[in-house]
Structure 1
Amino acid sequence: MLNKYPLWKTLMVVFIVAIGALYALPNYYGEDPAVQISGTKGVQADLATLDAVKENLAAAELSYQSAALANGQVLVRFSDYKSQQTANTLLSKNLGDEYSVALNLTPATPDWLASLGGVPMKLGLDLSGGVHFLMEVDMKTAMGRAQESMIGDFRTNLRGENIRYRSVKEAGNGVEVIFRNSDDLAKAESLLKRTYGDYLFVDNEDKLSLKITMTDAKLKETREYALQQNITIIRNRVNELGVSEPLVQRQGAKHIVVELPGIQDTARAKEILGATATLQFHMVDQEHDIRDAINGRVPPGSFLVNDQDGRPQLLKKRIMLRGEHIIGAKSSLDQQTSQPQVNIDLDNKGGSLFSNATKNNIGKPMATMFIESKATGEKNPDGSLKFTQQQEVISVATIQARLGKSFRITGQDSPAAAHNLALLLRAGALIAPIAIVEERTVGPSLGAENVELGMQAILWGFALVLLFMMVYYRAFGLVANLALAANLVLIVGVMSLIPGAALTLPGMAGIVLTVGMAVDANVLIFERIREEIREGKTIQQSIHQGYDSAFSTIFDANITTLIAALILFAVGTGPVKGFAITLSIGIVTSMFTSIIGTRAVVNALWGGKKLDKLPI
């Protein structure tokens, strides 16, 4: 029988719309302004911290919805932004430097809905407020470290083949190796050329030297690696410290964009990003008297650096391991001594390097050095920022055995200090220093205004389309309006389900455009049904032909728009991506609701019946 859907197909439509409505529901409850209190410098928030927070709020007669301790952080919910701001100022002043107090937004979703995975749709920086940073990577340091790595690799290869050399040192933008005789020069050149095909080799037999530089392709690869690794590490740091849905992406050849929606305190946001630091492991120099070094007679292969308490330490210059090779770190207590320790896991290359570096140093002390790079505010001749470094020994431990991919660091003062060190190691060491060259703050009031204006645009557009369809197509117009409402619900539900997807102001424009495109499909179908009726076909034939004939036109138009949206998503950044996401989702959901959804309703109301007239 024409225009009769089987029961399973009708139930499928109802089920999909119901699921969309369920996961769109958390957006009705919205988010609560909140203050998040977490420990810094090795301190963790605990029940005493929670009690102190409650006492401070009670003393100031500041009301709040709830205060709870979870995952080492205290979260206090408020009913309005004014109370949130007042509490932030109060707690920041009274809790001291041991705690970080940050503004945040926390979902107000009921527990039963949250247990089903329901979360509100993420809002972009322009809608929820937050901070935006543009960070510049110090490529000069990145290339310098690449040269250091080349020197270490060449030494290892030459020693492995028993090829003698006088020195391996930096030379301009490359590395120069000096040999004792021409035979060693020839052997080394043959060996290194086989091993390193993406380097350029120039020998000088008169000086018994071999200069090695990177090819253009290798230079580009090294810069790309430094940028991508920094992006990954910054993202890890933000995730470790509990910032929800951050945006971390590259911009150009040496810049990184970081956006933290829901955070309005710029100073605290910088703290969340953490020090732009690296970690290095050095052996402690026990062969020379540290008092001579303090008096100015520092041995050629060593250097002086202070520890956290200001005491000088004499370390060997050779770098045993960099923090970039650490892939995991976890604090714990030693089962025998109950002393705090940090268990560390390395990648394959790091494990091999560390094994070779420690096999002859068992029983000797090793230092973990924390190096923070800061921009001076001045610029180099090429326009890039100048950086200065601050170095500090954060741990000195004795090597108990030959170390490989997994080892432990002891010597921490407290479990909290071990936990803090593990977090730093786990978050990763930056390949090259970075500096904030631009920062922007979007206040919550401006974000709320954007949401209100965007919602007004959507509702006005939706209302005008509903009115037109109802007047022009009568009962069929009501069916189209029902499909439009279901389409909006599905868009919100899908956006809420996709991890990392965020609604931006341009995304709202994409929703408005989707409303127009969705109703356009129904206009094509309804006009085709009218044409079939005017040609004298029966009502049921007209409905059937109207949907079938209009399908190819609707499909072609939507597919071409979807391709354009996907291209925008692939090549665009920030607001462009937000527009592309909502437009892509809207195209898919509108095809479902305007074709399958409306046909299910039309078939249920008028399908398979003998009708003389159709309310269209």
Structure 2
Amino acid sequence: MMHIQLWKRVLILGVVVIGLIWAAPNLFYSRVEAHNDAVAASENAGFVSDEQQAAIDRWPNWLPNGLVNLGLDLRGGAHLLAEVHIEDVYKSRMNSLWPELRRALADQRDVIGAVRRVPGPDDRLSVEIENADQMAKAVEIARGLSTPVVSLSGAGQSDLDITASGKVMTIQLSEAEKTATDDRTVQQSLEIIRRRVDEVGTREPTIQRQGSDRILIQVPGIGSASELKALIGTTAKLTFNPVVGRTTDANARAGMGNVVLPSMDEQGVFYIVEDTPVVTGEELTNARPSFDQNSQPAVDFTFNAGGARKFGAYTAANIGQPFAIVLDNEVISAPVIRDAITTGSGQISGSMDVAGSTQLAVLLRAGALPAELTFLEERTIGPELGQDSIDAGKIASIVGLIAVVVLMVASYGLFGVFASVALLLNVGLIFGVLSMIGATLTLPGIAGIVLTIGMAVDANVLVFERIREELTRSKGPAKAIDLGYRHAMSAIVDANVTTLIIAAILFFLGSGPVKGFAVTLAIGIVTSVFTALWVTRLLMVVWFDRTRPKKIEV
């Protein structure tokens, strides 16, 4: 035990040095952060400005530039709890089903007679047919439009429930399809919110589902909750709808299948448009801010192949007719189709500034939210409060570190010094590992580090006490140290493995803050065992080889 082979010494020192090098950028946090931001911004823009180059030059490229990301409670930022209006999706499904059902029933008009949609709840499609005695035929046609439910729990079931009473056939989503739709809607909202937040380059956001229809959003570093709401709270639902008419009466009769929408640019002007769009924003492949022919801010967009084909076919068949570009139930513009637009690209212009066109492009690229969000809770955490938490965490860590060092030195003398050096290296290794994996440090995470500082010397205490016991049995220094490490090993492994299991349980079953605590605790356990068993032992071996003491005191 008192002899460590050369390759093992090199390996131990190499791990320590690499860990400290990875931790070093955190000592120059603002400088490295500015370097990383400048690199990311220049890569996105495709060129490097003078200010960005100055920030890039402040940190050598050959050194690691990974940082421990600061969580919301340390950095400040915005916290939102949103509720997804899943019922909006039911309404959209019924509205999109109606044109298809109308065409299918029209093919059997000679048998069924005239068909019309009658008013009803938003989540249901009510259709009246002329010949009530042919209702079975109409139901059969409607059932032909249903599809199997795509979910494990609803396998083999139909996505539509169809009932008939007199001349009216009522269609709604089946319970199995509603369950699957609810899950898909929340998951889609999660992904779109994540894409929108990522588009603006924020650091380590927390976006996770809570309950059946709620989403928790925490974004460190953003200015305020209202700024975050403006980014993610807009559905950004873009559609291209045929124009039926134009009016100044907000309560004008639209007719079945039509809606009255206000104009964004023209005060007091309303457009009557078909409720079913020709093309939707879901078929966009790209959107970017630009300027129109009058040098006013605009947004250029491009459709995918399917969207381009439908848009081209519609514009070719409706030359001379207006069509409406609708964003979130407001008509941005209603140009007249002059020529067939077969290129699959176009431009949105109107009363917007450069910031507005940039944000609209971000929203369109990320996609439209499938349903509206209601924000149930919102908080803005200022950077000053986050700095107070960091300062408090620093004080707690330093006080704990000093207390442990004093106790170890007072209790074990020179061996306590060795344990204290290993403890300091352990803290550096923790930050090195956190930087390597890009972990986010929160206030509970700091608590995990403080707890690790107290626990890190446990292994040393076990070893030193066993060495004391061996010395009382008249064993020589070398033999006592050797047996001390050997006999304490099983207790050290048992204690740390059980703690590691607890950390794993906290990580997999806990929420965000609890996971942060579990991550730092688990990393601290691994690094503390490494420093206690190998770094401390290496220091003792080097000392022993140089001094060759005949007697030691622990």
- TM-score scaled by length of structure 2: 0.78
Amino acid at match of 2:458: D
User: CA 1:317–1:147 in 2, change beyond 3 Å: closer, same or farther?
Assistant: closer
- Alpha-carbon distance between aligned partners in 2 of 1:369 and 1:459, rounded to the nearest angstrom: 59
Contact map agreement 2:507 2:519 (CA 8 A) in 1:
yes
Q: Which residue in the other structure is 1:369 paired with?
A: 326
Which of the residues 141, 154, 170 maps onto 2:88? 141
Amino acid at match of 2:275: K
Contact map agreement 1:362 1:401 (CA 8 A) in 2:
yes
Aligned-residue sequence identity (percent) comes to 33
Residues 444-459 of structure 1 mapped to structure 2, 5 A cutoff:
444-459=383-398
User: CA 1:164–1:594 in 2, change beyond 3 Å: closer, same or farther?
Assistant: farther
Contact map agreement 1:540 1:608 (CA 8 A) in 2:
no
User: CA 1:20–1:612 in 2, change beyond 3 Å: closer, same or farther?
Assistant: same
User: CA 1:576–1:513 in 2, change beyond 3 Å: closer, same or farther?
Assistant: same
- Alpha-carbon distance between aligned partners in 2 of 1:462 and 1:526, rounded to the nearest angstrom: 19
- Alpha-carbon distance between aligned partners in 1 of 2:532 and 2:484, rounded to the nearest angstrom: 13
Amino acid at match of 2:141: A
Aligned residues: 521
- Alpha-carbon distance between aligned partners in 2 of 1:295 and 1:459, rounded to the nearest angstrom: 69
SS of the residue aligned with 2:240? strand
Q: Which residue in the other structure is 1:250 paired with?
A: 209
User: CA 1:160–1:487 in 2, change beyond 3 Å: closer, same or farther?
Assistant: farther
Q: Which residue in the other structure is 1:485 paired with?
A: 424
Tell me which moved more, 424-433 or 454-463.
424-433
Shift of 1:318: 1.0
User: CA 1:289–1:434 in 2, change beyond 3 Å: closer, same or farther?
Assistant: closer
Q: Which residue in the other structure is 2:70 paired with?
A: 123
- Any unmatched runs of 5+ in structure 1? 36-67, 78-106, 372-389
Shift of 1:459: 0.8
Contact map agreement 2:281 2:368 (CA 8 A) in 1:
yes
Amino acid at match of 2:393: G
Amino acid at match of 1:30: Y
Residue 47 of structure 2 is aligned to residue 25 of structure 1: no
Shift of 1:511: 0.7
- Alpha-carbon distance between aligned partners in 2 of 1:122 and 1:163, rounded to the nearest angstrom: 69
Q: Which residue in the other structure is 1:595 paired with?
A: 533
- Alpha-carbon distance between aligned partners in 1 of 2:109 and 2:494, rounded to the nearest angstrom: 69
SS of the residue aligned with 1:112? coil
Contact map agreement 2:284 2:301 (CA 8 A) in 1:
no
Q: Which residue in the other structure is 1:443 paired with?
A: 382
Q: Which residue in the other structure is 2:39 paired with?
A: none
Residue 523 of structure 2 is aligned to residue 585 of structure 1: yes
SS of the residue aligned with 1:134? strand
In terms of fraction of residues, the more helix-rich structure is: 2
SS of the residue aligned with 2:236? strand
- Alpha-carbon distance between aligned partners in 2 of 1:168 and 1:511, rounded to the nearest angstrom: 65
Q: Which residue in the other structure is 2:173 paired with?
A: 213
* Per-residue CA distance 1:392-443 (angstroms, 9 max, x = gap): 325758597797xx93223547995865543221122111112333222333
* Per-residue CA distance 1:497-522 (angstroms, 9 max, x = gap): 333x3222221111111112211111
SS of the residue aligned with 1:464? helix
Amino acid at match of 2:418: V
Shift of 1:598: 2.0
Contact map agreement 2:252 2:260 (CA 8 A) in 1:
no
Q: Which residue in the other structure is 1:9 paired with?
A: 8
Contact map agreement 1:369 1:394 (CA 8 A) in 2:
yes
Residue 347 of structure 2 is aligned to residue 410 of structure 1: yes
SS of the residue aligned with 2:457? helix
Q: Which residue in the other structure is 1:225 paired with?
A: 184
* Per-residue CA distance 1:519-545 (angstroms, 9 max, x = gap): 111111222233334445454343333
Residue 445 of structure 2 is aligned to residue 507 of structure 1: yes
User: CA 1:492–1:411 in 2, change beyond 3 Å: closer, same or farther?
Assistant: closer
User: CA 1:307–1:201 in 2, change beyond 3 Å: closer, same or farther?
Assistant: closer
Q: Which residue in the other structure is 1:63 paired with?
A: none
Q: Which residue in the other structure is 1:470 paired with?
A: 409
* Per-residue CA distance 1:218-239 (angstroms, 9 max, x = gap): 3233222222222222222222
Q: Which residue in the other structure is 2:154 paired with?
A: none
* Per-residue CA distance 1:224-283 (angstroms, 9 max, x = gap): 222222222222222222333333223333332222323454544444x25522323233
Contact map agreement 2:287 2:362 (CA 8 A) in 1:
yes
SS of the residue aligned with 2:467? helix
- Alpha-carbon distance between aligned partners in 2 of 1:486 and 1:259, rounded to the nearest angstrom: 33
Tell me which moved more, 168-177 or 233-242.
168-177
SS of the residue aligned with 2:273? strand
Amino acid at match of 2:453: V
* Per-residue CA distance 1:48-81 (angstroms, 9 max, x = gap): xxxxxxxxxxxxxxxxxxxx9995999999xxxx
- Alpha-carbon distance between aligned partners in 1 of 2:170 and 2:510, rounded to the nearest angstrom: 45
- TM-score scaled by length of structure 1: 0.71
Which of the residues 488, 491, 497 maps onto 1:550? 488
User: CA 1:227–1:73 in 2, change beyond 3 Å: closer, same or farther?
Assistant: farther
Contact map agreement 1:457 1:512 (CA 8 A) in 2:
yes
User: CA 1:9–1:174 in 2, change beyond 3 Å: closer, same or farther?
Assistant: farther
In terms of fraction of residues, the more strand-rich structure is: 1
User: CA 1:195–1:226 in 2, change beyond 3 Å: closer, same or farther?
Assistant: closer
- Alpha-carbon distance between aligned partners in 1 of 2:86 and 2:253, rounded to the nearest angstrom: 33
Contact map agreement 1:163 1:188 (CA 8 A) in 2:
no
- Alpha-carbon distance between aligned partners in 1 of 2:197 and 2:233, rounded to the nearest angstrom: 12
Which of the residues 183, 191, 197 maps onto 1:238? 197
User: CA 1:194–1:25 in 2, change beyond 3 Å: closer, same or farther?
Assistant: closer
Residue 255 of structure 2 is aligned to residue 318 of structure 1: no
* Per-residue CA distance 1:327-361 (angstroms, 9 max, x = gap): 64346799xxxx98734355xxxx65775676455
Contact map agreement 1:185 1:208 (CA 8 A) in 2:
no
User: CA 1:229–1:550 in 2, change beyond 3 Å: closer, same or farther?
Assistant: same
Amino acid at match of 1:17: V
- Alpha-carbon distance between aligned partners in 2 of 1:354 and 1:521, rounded to the nearest angstrom: 67
Shift of 1:489: 0.6
- Alpha-carbon distance between aligned partners in 2 of 1:116 and 1:331, rounded to the nearest angstrom: 36
Amino acid at match of 1:240: E
Contact map agreement 1:3 1:540 (CA 8 A) in 2:
yes
User: CA 1:22–1:394 in 2, change beyond 3 Å: closer, same or farther?
Assistant: farther
- Alpha-carbon distance between aligned partners in 1 of 2:248 and 2:271, rounded to the nearest angstrom: 12
- Alpha-carbon distance between aligned partners in 2 of 1:481 and 1:456, rounded to the nearest angstrom: 18
Residues 352-363 of structure 1 mapped to structure 2, 5 A cutoff:
355=309, 359=313, 361-362=315-316
Amino acid at match of 2:316: I
Contact map agreement 2:22 2:432 (CA 8 A) in 1:
yes
- Alpha-carbon distance between aligned partners in 1 of 2:107 and 2:521, rounded to the nearest angstrom: 59
User: CA 1:128–1:186 in 2, change beyond 3 Å: closer, same or farther?
Assistant: closer
